[in-house]
A = this chain, B = another copy of it.
């Protein structure tokens, strides 16, 4: 990824347009949260996002984090997942390839994968049931079969 700076600018522009369209205020908190998210790799939950902003001495409340995440999900800049039972997981969604998740039942590690055939399923099922399918969530659960798999060691 060569143009990280450009990506963030692009994302900010999208968010700005979204806020204007919905007549919402462009508060510094909202953009700070957006920046923090796009500077991170992988999945994160509300608490870790909140903590990492606190560590940077940015004054935010959990309520604002939740509120901003909802907005970012609404304008498709962030995706929300419900992997475990509790604690939703989020990840940035823009400028990143569409993908699904494989979760190791031994250690709860999340691995990403792509398979274009899911698109076909989505189309077929939508047509069959008269639904316009907007997005999907596919999670595979399994365990690594390599005997030396690092997953065997760490256990959430």
Residues of A within 8 A of B (CB): 82, 84-85, 88, 102, 104-105, 111, 113, 115, 117-118, 120-122, 124-126, 128-146, 149
> A117 touching B120 by the CB < 8 A rule?
yes
From A88, A129, A133, A134, residue with most partner B Cβ within 10 Å: A129
> A143 touching B132 by the CB < 8 A rule?
yes
| 20 further contact pairs, Cβ within 8 A, besides A121-B138, A136-B140 | A82-B84, A85-B88, A102-B125, A102-B129, A102-B133, A104-B131, A105-B134, A111-B131, A115-B124, A118-B121, A122-B140, A126-B140, A131-B143, A131-B144, A131-B145, A132-B142, A133-B140, A136-B138, A136-B139, A136-B141
Shortest C-beta distance, A148 to chain B (Å), equals 11
Q: Chain B residues near A140 (CB, 8 Å)?
A: 122, 125-126, 131, 133, 135-136
9 contacts between A and B (CB under 8 A): A102-B125, A104-B131, A115-B121, A118-B138, A130-B149, A131-B142, A132-B143, A133-B140, A134-B143
